[in-house]
Amino acid sequence: MPDLTPSLQPTPSPQPTATATAAAAPLGPIRLRSHAHTALRPAATARITGGFWAARRHINATVSIPQGPERLEKAGNLANLRTAAGSSEESEESEDPEGSDSAGAFSGDFPFQDSDVHKWLEAASWQLADDPGHSGLAAEVRRLVSLVATAQGPDGYLQTYYQVAHPDRRWSELDWGHELYCAGHLIQAAVAHHRATGRRELLDVALRFATYIDSVFGTDGTDGTDGADGTDRSDGKSGGICGHPEIETALVELYRETGERRFLDLAGDFTDRRGHGLLAEGVDRARDPGPAYWQDHLPVREAPTVTGHAVRQLYLLAGATDLAMETGDEALRESLERLWHAMAATKTYLTGGVGARHEGEAFGEPFELPPDRAYAETCAAIASVQWSWRMALLTGETRYSDLVERTLYNGFLSGVALDGDRWLYVNPLQVRDDHEDHPGDRTARRTPWFRCACCPPNVMRLLASLPHYVASGDADGLQLHQYATGSYATDPADTAGGGAVTVETDYPWKGRVTVTVDAAPADRDWTLSLRIPSWCAEFTVAAPDRQNRTEADGGWLRIRRRWLPGERVVLDLALDVRLTEPDPRVDAVRGCLAIERGPLVYCLESADQQAGLRLDEVTLVPAARTVAEHRPDLLGGVTVVTTTGHRRSDGAPTPLTAVPYHAWANREDGAMRVWIPREVPG
């Protein structure tokens, strides 16, 4: 096998530690090249050490991630890899490797079963970055890495569905086959594994596959053709693309990890090749959802709004943002800003959930946001966070981190149970009193794993890498985008001097955030920037000098001065309970109100109301007093909001107790609603 990694920096030690690389480069999913065209760069070190997110990440580390291999074993994903390992050995020896029909040997209903393994490996790797001493997890990671490696074909190909069941169909079902999607998740896992552990076994597997993919799909394909279908690309229509984007963002990260420009170029090809009606050509109509489903109706640069399958759309846009970051492509950046605005203003639920339609797991029309039929797949919330964080880095604007916050605390976190071992695929904003489960309806009940298990390992990887989404740096200082107890530092090399802070907070239950500057340049002024969330009507700040500008500027509270280690800023964000009105164009909830407090969206659940109260009988009285009270005994410790509503049937007052939306569906089955009809004075 030739050396495929000429420009990869040699790894100094095979026995890596997190701290060996942490000081110089972020141990997270985005490690920008030094010349990247972004306003901000992710913090070089980021650790969440306490508070709300530490508790959720602890469950992720001790319950969710450890159970992954067992679930993957039961679901047959690991068996597929073992079978492929056997068949790839055979295929080297056999004269007719495709001669036998092995379709029956593949386990699972989807061609992308491998991606669950890759996502788990990514999650476990980020977890190891946080806790390098976790020997049990390290051993499981080594076992699965080795299993993945043995399944790889001699030419670098790796997708067990095609290796085991349909070797004759390789690259011939790009619309539904998910080959490049699985490759993308493999690459992301490999990059995470390399960053977290310093080991390159999985990276070598990914590089072999990426190199092979480049030879098939790259513009200078070594097979002498222009693309997988062998057609001429001069019409801008040919070459191949995957029905499910994901490879784009992964290839940019592979470029970042290796410095190999060909991977960035290939990501650019895949991005710009899309939008010309390439997919589903010749496919029978029953399997053709139309080009917008997979964003093949218009190039990213021309699309006016987000459309089609939500996860596909948002992975594509995350990848396009990665491209814009590394290339400085201004036109692409403008398109991304336009698309993001269209999504946030017209196609996003109050919870941050996206992708309203069950049909096609897709974005609906602007303001088509029904609460009861909301699909809002957990993976789509994750993809939204990934894209918005990239936009925050690209532009430096706070609106993107506002949406990250809304999504993290609500539409994302609802996807995992408080105990860490049951999940929601679909995240509705209302379940009726008389809701009936139907076979295959995943709306209202948590389950331990899914037949299509894309969401659980996706939640695991986001929680494991969450510290990465908290802070950034630039030449001027450090920015806090999210408030999580922990320590965050910028890299002296890429942020002119660097600095470090420690954050302590009981957010989101309390609005006080204490930031201690641990290090800052001694010889010049340096700016500590704190995001003032868009929901926050009032805040106060106590900082060492009162002569500083302390008003928020475009959502940033910037405190610029000559800092001394140990100096503190105390920010108090007012956490008043808010009754939020929907945009009047969202017909489905017109006349309703939602309860919010700080970054949290609240809901009524039957379990908290007076016995026998039906939620479809309740109205909210805007003038009624609301009280926020922390209940350590409830749902692992939550702040509830109580108020007095009315029963519609007889107009009698009734006490109402609302809990954070993210904590719903953790008790007995029952009704739930976020949007509550407003009492009309009569």
Active site residues: 361, 454
- The smaller minimum CB distance to Zn ion, of residues 121 and 393, is found at 121
Closest by Cα among 189, 183, 230, 231 to 208 = 183
What single string gives the DSSP state of each residue in 577-606? EEEEPPPTT-GGGTTEEEEEETTEEEEEEG
The CB-of-142 to ligand FUB minimum distance in angstroms stands at 27
Structure-block tokens of residue 97: 């490797």
- The smaller minimum CB distance to Zn ion, of residues 36 and 454, is found at 454
Residue 511 vs residues 152, 333, 504, 506, 599: alpha-carbon distances, Å: 50, 34, 11, 7, 10
- Residues 240-279, one symbol each (x = binds ligand FUB by CB under 6 A, - = not), give ----x-----------------------------------
- Burial per residue of 660-673, b for 16 or more beta-carbon CB atoms within 10 angstroms, e otherwise: bbbbbbbeeebbbb
DSSP 8-state assignment for residue 462:
H
- Residues 331-370, one symbol each (x = binds ligand FUB by CB under 6 A, - = not), give ------------------------------x---------
The CB-of-136 to ligand FUB minimum distance in angstroms stands at 29
DSSP 8-state assignment for residue 77:
H
112 binds, among ligand FUB, Zn ion, none (CB under 5 to 8 A by kind): ligand FUB
Confirm if 483 and 499 have CB atoms less than 8 A apart. Answer: no
- The smaller minimum CB distance to Zn ion, of residues 379 and 463, is found at 379
The footprint of ligand FUB on residues 223-242 (CB under 6 A) is none
- The smaller minimum CB distance to Zn ion, of residues 26 and 108, is found at 108
Of 247, 311, 417, 603, which one interacts with ligand FUB (CB under 6 A)?
A: 311
On the 0-12 / 13-18 / 19+ scale of CB atoms within 10 A, 105 is: middle
The CB-of-416 to Zn ion minimum distance in angstroms stands at 12
361 binds, among Zn ion, ligand FUB, none (CB under 5 to 8 A by kind): ligand FUB
- Burial per residue of 592-614, b for 16 or more beta-carbon CB atoms within 10 angstroms, e otherwise: bbbbbbbbbbbbbbbbbbeeebe
Q: Could you tell me which residues come within 8 angstroms of residue 58 by beta carbon, excluding any fewer than 6 positions away?
A: none
The CB-of-657 to ligand FUB minimum distance in angstroms stands at 34
- The smaller minimum CB distance to ligand FUB, of residues 376 and 454, is found at 454
The CB-of-311 to Zn ion minimum distance in angstroms stands at 7
The CB-of-417 to ligand FUB minimum distance in angstroms stands at 20
Confirm if 661 and 603 have CB atoms less than 8 A apart. Answer: yes
Does 474 bind ligand FUB (CB under 6 A)? Our answer is no
298 binds, among Zn ion, ligand FUB, none (CB under 5 to 8 A by kind): none
Confirm if 28 and 188 have CB atoms less than 8 A apart. Answer: no
How far from the centroid of its chain's Cα atoms is residue 27's Cα?
16
- The smaller minimum CB distance to ligand FUB, of residues 449 and 602, is found at 449
- Residues 619-638, one symbol each (x = binds ligand FUB by CB under 6 A, - = not), give --------------------
Structure-block tokens of residue 335: 């398109």
Closest by Cα among 117, 200, 133, 25 to 461 = 117
State the residues that interact with Zn ion by CB under 5 A.
379, 454-455
The CB-of-232 to ligand FUB minimum distance in angstroms stands at 30
Confirm if 57 and 408 have CB atoms less than 8 A apart. Answer: no
Residue least distant from ligand FUB (Cβ): 311
The CB-of-600 to Zn ion minimum distance in angstroms stands at 23
Q: Could you tell me which residues come within 8 angstroms of residue 138 by beta carbon, excluding any fewer than 6 positions away?
A: 128, 132, 197
- The smaller minimum CB distance to Zn ion, of residues 416 and 620, is found at 416
State the number of binding residues for ligand FUB (CB under 6 A): 8
- The smaller minimum CB distance to Zn ion, of residues 454 and 594, is found at 454
- The smaller minimum CB distance to Zn ion, of residues 165 and 379, is found at 379
Q: Could you tell me which residues come within 8 angstroms of residue 396 by beta carbon, excluding any fewer than 6 positions away?
A: 38, 39, 40, 474, 479
- Burial per residue of 343-354, b for 16 or more beta-carbon CB atoms within 10 angstroms, e otherwise: bbebbbbbbbbb
How far from the centroid of its chain's Cα atoms is residue 681's Cα?
43
Residue 243 vs residues 115, 459, 610: alpha-carbon distances, Å: 15, 23, 49
The footprint of ligand FUB on residues 397-456 (CB under 6 A) is 452, 454
The CB-of-599 to ligand FUB minimum distance in angstroms stands at 25
Does 608 bind ligand FUB (CB under 6 A)? Our answer is no
Query: Which of helix, strand or coil describes residue 104?
Result: helix
How far from the centroid of its chain's Cα atoms is residue 448's Cα?
20
244 binds, among Zn ion, ligand FUB, none (CB under 5 to 8 A by kind): ligand FUB
- The smaller minimum CB distance to ligand FUB, of residues 460 and 501, is found at 460
The CB-of-623 to ligand FUB minimum distance in angstroms stands at 43
Query: Which of helix, strand or coil describes residue 503?
Result: strand
Does 379 bind ligand FUB (CB under 6 A)? Our answer is yes
Query: Which of helix, strand or coil describes residue 330?
Result: helix
- Residues 76-115, one symbol each (x = binds ligand FUB by CB under 6 A, - = not), give ------------------------------------x---
Tell me how far apart the alpha carbons of residues 373 and 587 are, in angstroms, rounded to a whole number: 13
488 binds, among Zn ion, ligand FUB, none (CB under 5 to 8 A by kind): none
- The smaller minimum CB distance to Zn ion, of residues 171 and 450, is found at 450
The CB-of-28 to ligand FUB minimum distance in angstroms stands at 22
Work out whether strand 618-620 and strand 638-647 pair parallel, antiparallel, or are unpaired.
Answer: antiparallel
Q: Could you tell me which residues come within 8 angstroms of residue 182 by beta carbon, excluding any fewer than 6 positions away?
A: 112, 114, 115, 118, 158, 159
656 binds, among Zn ion, ligand FUB, none (CB under 5 to 8 A by kind): none
Q: Could you tell me which residues come within 8 angstroms of residue 85 by beta carbon, excluding any fewer than 6 positions away?
A: 147, 150, 151
Residue least distant from Zn ion (Cβ): 379
Cross-strand bridge partners of residue 639: 630
Of 377, 474, 567, 605, which one interacts with ligand FUB (CB under 6 A)?
A: 377
Tell me how far apart the alpha carbons of residues 628 and 636 are, in angstroms, rounded to a whole number: 16
- The smaller minimum CB distance to ligand FUB, of residues 170 and 244, is found at 244
The CB-of-244 to ligand FUB minimum distance in angstroms stands at 5
Q: Could you tell me which residues come within 8 angstroms of residue 245 by beta carbon, excluding any fewer than 6 positions away?
A: 181, 270, 274, 294, 295, 312, 313, 315, 316, 319
The residues that touch ligand FUB, with contacts defined as CB under 6 A, are 112, 244, 311, 361, 377, 379, 452, 454
